[in-house]
């Protein structure tokens, strides 16, 4: 049973952490998409509740603009933490030559990455840069957590297998030892029960020695 428990622990470890070492794909999860600029409203701050476990954070902008005229546009980004302190600033360069063009004709560009976070509401302020050759008409801010993290859907199952294996490893041998002790005890009792009777000294009758 202890051997089986050890095998289950190894299987659980592989299920929980093996994807990282056998080429599992790094993947982000999207925390939210926020409208931070429209022509009729102007620039609007985005407030996002975050926790330490969301780090590292990846921030991307998707921009609707006229691409026919060429040129480039810039945006500014300021991120304030829960205490109001600025934790990141960036200038985003937008150009059909440097940014990714989506199927709907928008431009996608990485804005910033934040390595550590504090629990609480963070404020993302996107603003106009020093030039706008493209004629920006809309800006969406995309916030993703665990940038470059590893997705492992089997981790809960792996932990469960490790728990079962650990129990078998710890208590499987104890049952066997208890059984062995019981066998030895029964064997000893049996030997006592079948012990050859010794003749008691004759106290009276024929053959007595005075």
Nearest to 58 by CA among 108, 132, 129: 108
Same domain membership, residue 161 and residue 70: no
Same domain membership, residue 162 and residue 134: no
Peptide bond into 56 cis (omega under 30): yes
Outline where the chain has alpha helix (H): 2-17, 155-193
Residue 186 is assigned to a structural domain of this protein = no
Same domain membership, residue 125 and residue 35: yes
What whole-number distance in Å separates Cα of residue 6 and Cα of residue 166?
Answer: 7
Digit-by-digit pLDDT tens for the chain (210 residues) are: 777 767 777 886 766 555 545 444 445 689 999 999 999 999 999 999 999 989 999 999 999 998 776 789 999 999 999 999 999 999 999 998 888 999 888 999 999 999 999 999 999 999 999 999 999 999 999 999 986 555 455 567 867 887 887 787 777 665 555 555 555 555 555 555 555 555 545 444 344 445
What is the reported pTM? 0.60
Provide the residue range defining the domain that includes 3: 1-25+150-176
What whole-number distance in Å separates Cα of residue 99 and Cα of residue 141?
Answer: 15
Residue 171 has what pLDDT?
75
How many independent structural domains does the chain possess? 2
Residue 61 is assigned to a structural domain of this protein = yes
Residue 91 has what pLDDT?
95
CA Rg value for the chain? 37
* E strand spans, 28-135: 29-38, 42-43, 46-50, 57-65, 73-80, 86-94, 100-101, 107-114, 120-132
What whole-number distance in Å separates Cα of residue 109 and Cα of residue 65?
Answer: 13
């Amino acid at each position: 049973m202890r051997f089986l428990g050890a095998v289950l622990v190894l299987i659980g470890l592989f299920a929980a952490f093996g994807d990282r070492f056998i080429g599992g794909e790094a993947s982000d999860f999207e925390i939210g998409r926020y409208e931070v600029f429209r022509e009729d409203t102007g620039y609007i701050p985005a407030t996002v509740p975050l926790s330490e476990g969301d780090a590292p954070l990846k921030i991307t902008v998707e921009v609707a603009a006229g691409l026919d005229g060429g040129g480039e546009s810039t945006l500014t980004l300021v991120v304030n933490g829960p205490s109001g302190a600025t934790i990141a600033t960036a200038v985003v360069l937008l150009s059909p030559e440097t940014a990714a063009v989506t199927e709907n004709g928008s431009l996608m560009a990485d804005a910033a990455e934040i390595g550590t976070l504090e629990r609480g509401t963070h404020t993302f302020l996107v603003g106009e840069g020093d030039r706008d050759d493209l004629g920006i008409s809309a800006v969406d801010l995309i916030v993703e957590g665990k940038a470059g993290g590893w997705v492992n859907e089997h981790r809960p199952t792996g932990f469960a297998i490790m728990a079962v294996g650990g129990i078998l490893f710890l208590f499987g041998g104890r049952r066997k030892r208890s059984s062995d002790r019981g066998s030895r005890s029964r064997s000893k009792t049996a030997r006592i029960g079948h012990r050859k009777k010794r003749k008691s000294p004759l106290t009276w009758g024929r053959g007595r020695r005075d």
